[in-house]
Amino acid sequence: MNSVLEKSPFFAELDCDERAEILSMARPFAFDQGHIIFRQGDRADGMHLVENGRVQISARLPGGGEMTLSTLGTGEVFGEFALIDGRERSATAKALEPSRVLFFSCRRFEALRSELRPAALKTMRQITSKLFRRLQLLDRSIDANAIASTIDPPPPWVFGPSETIGKPIAAVSINRAALRVLPFFRSLADDEIEELLSALPAWDVPRGQFLIREGTPGTSSFLIVRGAIQLALEKGNGFEKVAVLGPGRIVGLSLIEGGLRAETCYARERSTILEICQEHFVGWFQGTSLIAFKFYDAVNENLVAQLRASDRRLGRLSALERAG
């Protein structure tokens, strides 16, 4: 079992001791050809790694039918959403041939996370990168499958670019009680919240202001404190709307792997945001502190929310294409 972890790109960052620690959590299972490992809608209780064999991942389409999302082989993982939000499964996994998989339960992984173990941090980092790459692929699929009836003209109240994204505001004016109900801040101590607020510029963003334009270089991401931000793909002179994100969510996640912005973001209503510069983003993403853990949680929950929205959007587009 250790050899499959050693060869798996997903666990490439782990050293020998860390692989042994992760492996101690694993339970092996063998499945016959055609066996359903889990179904879409089942309770998500853990992540799986293919030790040998092949596993098909598929999802139901609105109105009936099924779409194959991927076919996985030795060393590849599936069901990793479970380690992020523990909600119901977003897809069905089926063994295409006799297969052996390793199962990592949410409960045992959470025990490692709670101790701030490096193995858990590195695994979370890999989950983040995988989720981000999958989101990029989904967005490209949405862009390729967009049809005229799903593309909206820009709202008349959208404007930009401008020299700033809004009006700078003092951190002291941000309601601390409102912050503490957001997932990112909930488990931080008062001094950690103050340290964070002193490091991140705060902005009062007017309705319609662009924060990010698709295809531009990324230098910051933004944590929403109040209001709502629209995510969209630019298609000709219109927008293919993907998701709306609210308080506690982060936009501008292209900083995970660098490169150009994959989406356009603008304020649907007047919003308060905290700007996370590239230096802080990378420092937290590669860090080992409690704030780094909370940052991973916020980023991963954000990615899962966007992936679920993109999955639904692509499913609707596929159903419309089949119907029309």
CB atoms within 10 A of CB 182: 17
CB contact at 8 A, 254 and 262 = yes
CB atoms within 10 A of CB 190: 9
Q: What are phi and psi of 189, to 5 degrees?
A: -75, 160
Query: How far apart are the C-alpha atoms of 224 and 140, rounded to whole Å?
Result: 25
Query: How far apart are the C-alpha atoms of 319 and 317, rounded to whole Å?
Result: 5
pLDDT at 212 over 60: yes
pTM: 0.76
Q: 118 is written with which tokens?
A: 């490096």
Query: How far apart are the C-alpha atoms of 11 and 41, rounded to whole Å?
Result: 27
pLDDT at 69 over 70: yes
Q: Which is more confidently placed, 265 or 135?
A: 265
Please give the pLDDT value at position 209. 92
pLDDT at 316 over 80: no
Short-list 155, 156, 133, CA closest to 310: 133
Query: How far apart are the C-alpha atoms of 279 and 231, rounded to whole Å?
Result: 24
pLDDT at 312 over 80: no
Q: 308 is written with which tokens?
A: 């679920």
Q: What is the pLDDT of residues 99-114, one digit of tens each?
A: 999 999 999 988 888 8
Q: What is the enclosing helix (H) or strand (E) of 281?
A: helix 278-285
Mean of pLDDT over the chain: 85
pLDDT at 122 over 70: yes
Mean predicted confidence (pLDDT) in 270-285: 91
Q: Which is more confidently placed, 286 or 50?
A: 50
pLDDT at 317 over 70: no
SS3 45: coil
CB contact at 8 A, 169 and 204 = yes
* Non-local CB neighbours of 258 within 8 Å, separated by 6+ positions: 218
Choice among 143-147, 197-201, 301-305 with the minimum mean pLDDT: 143-147
Q: Give me the residues paired with residue 212 across strands.
A: 265
Please give the pLDDT value at position 301. 80
Q: What is the pLDDT of residues 7-65, one digit of tens each?
A: 898 898 899 999 999 999 999 999 999 999 999 999 999 999 999 999 999 988 776 77
**Among residues of the chain, what percentage have pLDDT more than 90?**
33
Q: Which domains does the chain have, with CATH numbers?
A: 2-113 (2.60.120.10), 140-323 (2.60.120.10)
